[in-house]
Structure formats: C-alpha cells, structure tokens
C-alpha cells in the first residue's frame, strides 16, 4: 500500500509518497508560499529530476490538488492514478492529553484536535486545513493523525507539572507536553538497535538539534522527560527561539522597550536564539562559516548553544539515574561535527571518548565513540515521514 505523508504548515506543505511494504520513498516535495504571491511546488520522484514549478496556490486545497497532479503525472508521476494511494498520514502537532498514540481521523478526532487549537494556535489549525483539503479531494481514502506530542504522554507527573498554581493545570491543562515526539521515538528505537539491546532495557538521551531543538530522556522505551514544554518555546536555545529564560525578563523588556506581551512573545519566538545572540544568522551553516573565520559573535552563539545542550543531557542522566546511549539527530545533530564535539567535551564524567574520524562522517547512522567509551554516542538521521507512514499503515490495514 502507498501512503501519502503530509506535513502541513500555515504557508507550506511537505509531502512524501511511501510504499508501506518496502518502505521505499516513491516521491517527495514541498509546496511553498501557500496563500502568498510566488507560490511554487517542488516535486521529485525517486530516481528522477527535481522540478520546481511556480503555480498559484490560494489555499491548501489547491496545493494538495497540485501534489496529486504531480504524483499522477503521465511522465514524471510516481503512480498511475489516485487509486494507488491507499491512505494519508498527517503530522499533527498537538494532541493535548487526549491522544497518547496515532489515530484514524474521524469527525470526533477532528473535533478533539480543534479543541487543542488554543494549545498550538500556529500549528493545529494549519494541520486541520490539510486534513480538510485531503478529505475534499480524496473523500474515500482513510487518514491517520500522528501527533508530535503523543510519545511524551508517558511522562510522569513530576516531569510535566510546572511550579504554578495547580488549578491552571486542572482548568486549562497548562503542563509540559513536549514536541518532536515522532523523531524522539524513531531515534531512540534505532539507538537500541545500534546498541544491540532490547528497547525496553535501554536509557537513551535523544538530542534533536534542528532549527527547533529538543532533548528527550527515553527510559525503557518511554519518554520520561523532554525539554520543550507547554509550547515549543521552552528548553534549548534554538535557531530563533530563546528557550529557557527567567520569566521576569518578559515584564522588564516590555517596560524598557515599551512593547506589549505579544511583541515580547514575537521577540522570544522569532528574534532570539542563536540568531539573537550572534546577530549573524539562525542557520548553523552560516554560523559555522563565520565561526571558522574567527567571528566572535558566531563563536559565542555556538558556545552557548552547546553548553545548554550539555546541561540538559546532565539533568536527564540524573532523571534516569544513568544513560546507555546519547543520540544526535536533525539538521545540526546529524551534520555538524563541531557542535557534537563541543557538547561531548562536557561529558567526560560519563566516560565518553569520541572517535574523531567517525564523528567527521555526516548524515549516516553511526556510533561515534571508541569501543572503550563507557557510554555510546551516536548519530542517527531522523525519519519522521517513515514513522508516520508506518503508523498509518498499521492502523489502516487492520
Ligand atoms: P532542521 O530544522 O532539522 O532542518 O535543521 C536546520 C539546521 O540544521 C540549520 O541550522 C542548518 O544550518 C543545519 N543543517 C542542515 N543541514 C546541514 C548540513 N548539511 N550541514 C550543516 N548543517 C546543516
């Protein structure tokens, strides 16, 4: 069965068509600038040329229409007709406390996801628009929702309750949810395979270091703590997000800069992180070039980033009373050996010895520590689309 995996944002839509039996990617692409001028679809069938076509996309329904046209195109399509798409898997950001696993999308599920909209006002409405667009164009194809938050629903109360009045949890469900769950789940499973141990007997710390970044403690196959919280703003310093700060700073800055809470939030989400610290870029490739050229601002931002990751790793070693594997994933974790090395320099107390030759390899699944190292450190490319396809297949084939 071929599964169409959709990751729908407010103005973009990423897609992959995956054969669920062979797990082969048949085609992939992205629609950009949906609802804006200059929208375009980038489409690439596996083994074929990447094509980029400008085409008006006033809404997500039109974007999905173009995706389906590309997938069934006579010359470059991955399939002959829409009948060859057996199911659609949607990445959904926030399932609140309602969803601890993936689910077949029904009217009740859509209602329940809508009820989580105020927990993820930027993401959930866009995800729901993607579902509606697919329902309109493929009304008889079953759909599955795979939630970013679901994997973390195993966290114990001591990890998810904030030091706030408990009534805010009871009334508004203010608590730690955590994100990147699909990635943390996939990478921690692969880490157990690389260690050659059963998943339910391994303690792994997964460092998902991309533009958004989070760390997760996975004990015996269950997420027991993670650095993102009620929103994806908490935790590590990210590309443009501040991560943890003293909440008192918000009032101070609002008064000094004469801005309101929404503007402060915009600063914390869009203008902070390594971009804010360095004033160079939010992108680690740019920072790396600048740092290698000796630009102090870039070195400072990267140093602070690595320090914060190392501190989270230390706290999760405490939370799990030890660790068997530390896994790096996502854009920076998979590709930036300098960042991995800087973080691991803090971890000598875990008996970690990095093999620099292995660490210099990027983008492949590899253990980068020496055989003598007391704790294994790994690079594991994440594959959220594959997880979504697997979960979708498992639910629709029943
Ligand atoms: P993500 O959000 O997972 O796409 O990760 C984005 C971040 O990963 C950016 O800071 C990029 O600079 C970094 N990144 C992505 N690909 C590479 C690469 N090939 N080499 C170095 N850094 C990369």
Chunked mean pLDDT (size 10), the chain, 398 residues: 93 95 97 93 96 94 95 95 96 93 96 89 87 93 96 98 98 96 97 98 98 97 98 96 97 98 95 97 95 96 98 98 98 96 97 96 90 97 96 94
pLDDT value of position 165: 98
212 CB neighbour count, 10 Å cutoff: 20
pLDDT value of position 122: 78
176: which 2 tokens? Answer: 């730690």
pLDDT value of position 350: 97
Q: How far apart are CA 351 and CA 174, in angstroms?
A: 38
Atom of ligand 1 nearest to the CA of 283: 10
Q: How far is the centre of ligand 1, averaged over its atoms, from the C-alpha of 128 (Å)?
A: 28
Atom 20, ligand 1: which residue's CA is nearest?
335
Domain ranges of the chain: 2-147, 197-384
Sheet (strand 366-367) strand order: 222-226, 213-219, 203-209, 325-329, 376-379, 366-367
Burial 47-59 (b: 16+ CB within 10 A, else e): eeeeeeeeeebee
Q: Is 335 in the pocket of ligand 1 (CB under 6 A)?
A: yes
Atom 15, ligand 1: which residue's CA is nearest?
331
Nearest to 151 by CA among 201, 214, 226: 226
Atom of ligand 1 nearest to the CA of 332: 8
Torsions phi, psi for 222 (to 5 deg): -125, 140
pLDDT value of position 57: 94
Q: Indicate the annotated binding residues.
A: 7, 14, 91, 208-212, 283-285, 331-335, 384
Q: Are 370 and 376 in contact (CB under 8 A)?
A: no
pLDDT value of position 173: 95
Q: Is 50 in the pocket of ligand 1 (CB under 6 A)?
A: no
Q: How far is the centre of ligand 1, averaged over its atoms, from the C-alpha of 303 (Å)?
A: 17
Q: How far is the centre of ligand 1, averaged over its atoms, from the C-alpha of 317 (Å)?
A: 26
**3-state secondary structure at position 25:** strand
Please enumerate in sequence order all residues whose Cβ is within 8 A of that of 342, keeping only pairs 6 or more positions apart, or say none: 302, 303, 306
**Can 2-147 and 197-384 be said to share one CATH topology?**
yes
Report domain 2-147's class.
Answer: alpha beta
197-384 belongs to which homologous superfamily? Answer: ATPase, nucleotide binding domain (3.30.420.40)
pLDDT value of position 361: 85
Nearest to 391 by CA among 83, 20, 124: 20
Task: Say if strands 203-209 and 366-367 run parallel, antiparallel, or are unpaired.
Answer: unpaired
pTM summary value: 0.94
- Phi-psi domain of 89 (left: phi exceeds 0; alpha: psi -120 through 50; beta: other): beta
Atom of ligand 1 nearest to the CA of 285: 12
Q: How far is the centre of ligand 1, averaged over its atoms, from the C-alpha of 74 (Å)?
A: 34
Hey, which residues are catalytic here?
148
104 CB neighbour count, 10 Å cutoff: 14
User: Ligand 1 pocket: which of 214, 236, 336, 381 to mutate (most atoms <8 Å of CB)?
Assistant: 336
Q: Is 330 in the pocket of ligand 1 (CB under 6 A)?
A: yes
Q: How far is the centre of ligand 1, averaged over its atoms, from the C-alpha of 284 (Å)?
A: 6
pLDDT value of position 10: 81
Sheet (strand 143-147) strand order: 51-54, 40-45, 24-32, 13-19, 2-8, 85-92, 143-147, 103-104
């Amino acid at each position: 069965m071929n599964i169409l995996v959709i990751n729908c944002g407010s103005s973009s839509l990423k897609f992959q068509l995956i054969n669920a039996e062979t797990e082969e990617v048949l085609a992939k692409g992205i629609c950009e600038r949906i609802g804006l001028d200059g929208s375009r679809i980038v489409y690439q069938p596996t083994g074929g040329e990447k094509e980029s076509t400008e085409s008006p996309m006033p809404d997500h329904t039109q974007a999905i229409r173009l995706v389906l046209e590309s997938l069934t195109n006579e010359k470059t399509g991955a399939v002959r007709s829409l009948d060859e798409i057996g199911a659609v898997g949607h990445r959904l950001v926030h399932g609140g406390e309602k969803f601890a696993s993936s689910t077949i999308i029904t009217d009740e599920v859509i209602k329940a996801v809508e009820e989580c909209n105020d927990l993820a006002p930027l993401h959930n409405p866009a995800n729901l628009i993607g579902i509606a667009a697919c329902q309109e164009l493929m009304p008889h194809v079953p759909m599955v929702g795979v939630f970013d938050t679901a994997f973390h629903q195993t966290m114990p109360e001591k990890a998810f309750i904030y030091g706030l009045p408990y009534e805010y949890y009871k009334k508004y469900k203010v608590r730690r949810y955590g994100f990147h769950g699909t990635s943390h789940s996939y990478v921690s499973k692969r880490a157990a395979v690389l260690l050659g141990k059963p998943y339910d007997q391994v303690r792994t710390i997964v460092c998902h270091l991309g533009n958004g970044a989070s760390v997760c403690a996975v004990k015996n196959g269950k997420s027991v703590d993670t650095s993102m919280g009620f929103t994806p703003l908490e935790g590590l310093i990210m590309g443009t997000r501040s991560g943890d700060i003293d909440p008192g700073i918000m009032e101070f800055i609002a008064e000094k800069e004469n801005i309101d809470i929404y503007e402060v939030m915009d600063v914390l989400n869009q203008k902070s992180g390594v971009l804010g610290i360095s004033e160079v870029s939010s992108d680690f490739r740019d920072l790396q070039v600048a740092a290698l050229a000796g630009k102090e601002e870039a070195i400072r931002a990267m140093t602070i980033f690595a320090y914060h990751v190392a501190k989270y790793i230390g706290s999760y070693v405490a939370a799990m009373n030890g660790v068997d594997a530390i896994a790096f994933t996502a854009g920076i974790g998979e590709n930036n050996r300098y960042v991995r090395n800087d973080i691991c320099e803090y971890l000598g107390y875990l008996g970690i010895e990095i093999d620099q030759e292995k660490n210099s390899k990027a983008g492949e699944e590899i253990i980068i520590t020496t055989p003598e190292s007391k704790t294994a450190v790994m690079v594991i490319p994440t594959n959220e689309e594959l997880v979504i396809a697997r979960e979708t297949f498992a639910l629709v084939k029943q």
